[in-house]
């Protein structure tokens, strides 16, 4: 729950700082990006953190941990998110996807040794992600203005709030044990390593192929989230033809 409170503080700080910057221009309003000056500054700060800390750490991780080990870590971390995914599946009214999530979690947690193995995948049980930001989108909640959050990167009010809710939904945050703080820190650390390792080539491609990396990243993030919402939002019935 500490991460949720931290996120709320960071979000409020970002909004207050953004409100103190230059008033939105017509172009910013058209892009639904009234905080663009602050967002660009935050992107630069996040880029420095990534360049001087995250990327070197990822490089060491790739050297020390073989590909098979990194895949096992990815499966384990993904398995930890399945209870939260299940709740969001149900909130979205996706009973079939919820059943698949429950089956994957039960099989991979037991036969798959906590998720390090993926017997559910070999059983052809499909995998998917779900988060509360997408759930809100499926309910019709607008994404709101584009934001770049400290450390977390591209977001918007809907997704930032959804992330905080997902932290609250995660049952592992309520398991009492002495080393809980170190468990949480270690999990977050390896999640960053895993995510950065998977997205490194994509980010590099966007940086090299775009004239304005900020605008390209904004567009990519919005398309990614829009597609995720579209995949779960109930389709409106088509009008019946006239006879």
- HEC-encoded secondary structure of 95-115: HHHHHHHHHHHHHHHHCCHHH
**Range 218-235 average pLDDT:** 90
172-225 confidence digits (pLDDT tens) = 888 777 777 888 888 888 998 898 888 888 888 888 888 999 999 999 999 999
Query: Contacts for 128-131 with beta carbons within 8 Å, 24 or more apart?
Result: 128/85, 128/97, 128/100, 128/101, 129/81, 129/85, 129/228, 130/84, 130/85, 130/88, 130/89, 130/92, 130/94, 130/97, 130/101, 130/232, 131/84, 131/85, 131/88, 131/159, 131/162, 131/163, 131/166
Of 41, 44, 64, 40, nearest to 52 by C-alpha is: 44
Domain ranges of the chain: 2-19+35-232
4-59 confidence digits (pLDDT tens) = 433 443 444 433 334 444 555 656 666 899 999 999 999 999 999 988 988 899 88
* Other beta carbons less than 10 A from residue 205's beta carbon: 11
Euclidean distance between CA atoms 12 and 149, whole angstroms: 10
């Amino acid at each position: 729950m500490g991460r949720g409170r931290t996120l709320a503080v960071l979000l409020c700080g970002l909004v207050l700082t953004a409100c103190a910057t230059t008033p939105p221009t017509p172009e910013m309003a058209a892009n639904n990006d009234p905080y663009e000056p602050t967002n660009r500054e935050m992107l630069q700060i996040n880029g420095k953190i990534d360049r001087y800390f995250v990327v070197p750490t990822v490089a060491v991780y790739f050297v020390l941990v073989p590909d098979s080990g990194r895949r096992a870590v990815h499966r384990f971390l993904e398995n930890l998110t399945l209870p939260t995914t299940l709740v969001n599946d149900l909130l979205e009214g996706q009973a079939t996807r919820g059943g698949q999530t429950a089956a994957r979690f039960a099989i991979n947690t037991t036969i798959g040794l906590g998720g390090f193995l993926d017997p559910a995948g070999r059983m052809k049980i499909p995998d998917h992600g779900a988060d509360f930001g997408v759930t809100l989108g499926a309910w019709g909640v607008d994404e709101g203005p584009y934001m770049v959050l400290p450390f977390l990167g591209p977001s918007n009010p809907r997704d930032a709030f959804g992330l905080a809710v997902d932290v609250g939904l995660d049952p592992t945050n309520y398991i009492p044990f002495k080393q809980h703080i170190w468990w949480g820190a270690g999990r977050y650390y390896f999640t960053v390593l895993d995510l950065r390792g998977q997205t490194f080539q994509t980010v590099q491609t966007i940086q090299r192929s775009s004239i304005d990396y900020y605008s390209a990243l904004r567009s990519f993030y919005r398309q990614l989230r829009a597609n995720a919402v579209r995949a779960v939002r109930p389709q409106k019935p088509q009008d019946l033809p006239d006879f």
